[in-house]
Amino acid sequence: MDTTIISIHTGHERQVVDITSDAAQFADGRGDGLLSVFVPHATAGLAIMETGAGSDVDLLDALDEVLPRDDRWRHRHGTPGHGADHVMPAFIGPSVTIPVRDGRLLLGTWQSIVLVDPNSDNSERHIRFSWIPG
């Protein structure tokens, strides 16, 4: 299995980062198969969603409603509410798999692959792309 790792600098802001172009570049010229995308972090996840038009901020707002950033969490190191960051991957998992035909991602018209990083304590994320030939 061919694999590569990219690094994304998210800074100290909670972010939703579109990584579709990175994924497309990795899949380009590979023919038919599956692209596995994995983020090996306990406080980040991956999703397929529409980006722009406010959806990115809406997702972070929804996470704040479901996982409030307050002192209710038993996991208490880092910034206040950081325990919520460790629960988030149970809702937005650490991997996605995308079918690829003729080296092109078979995403829908408005779909993008995004890194969801609610953790302002960790400024660098790594994402593994792995190719599974068809």
Superfamily of domain 2-133: YjbQ-like (2.60.120.460)
Q: CB-based burial of residue 115 (10 Å sphere; 0-12 exposed, 13-18 middle, 19+ buried)?
A: buried
Residues 31-77: tens digit of each pLDDT: 999 999 999 999 999 999 999 889 999 999 999 999 998 889 888 88
User: pLDDT value at position 82?
Assistant: 87
Delimit the domains of the chain by residue range: 2-133
User: pLDDT value at position 78?
Assistant: 79
- Span 95-114, average pLDDT: 97
Q: How far is the C-alpha of 109 from the C-alpha of 36, rounded, in Å?
A: 20
User: pLDDT value at position 58?
Assistant: 96
Alpha-carbon torsion angle 40, 20, 14, 70, nearest 10: -60
- Chain center to CA of 26: 16
Burial 17-32, CB ≥16 within 10 A → b, else e: bebbebbbebbeebee
| Residue position matching structure tokens 């038009």 | 53
pLDDT at 110 over 90: yes
User: pLDDT value at position 11?
Assistant: 84
**Residue 48 · residue 112 · CB < 8 Å:** yes
pTM: 0.94
pLDDT at 105 over 90: yes
Vertex 131 angle, CA 126 and 133, to 5°: 175
User: pLDDT value at position 120?
Assistant: 84
Residues 2-40: tens digit of each pLDDT: 999 999 998 888 899 999 999 999 999 999 999 999 999
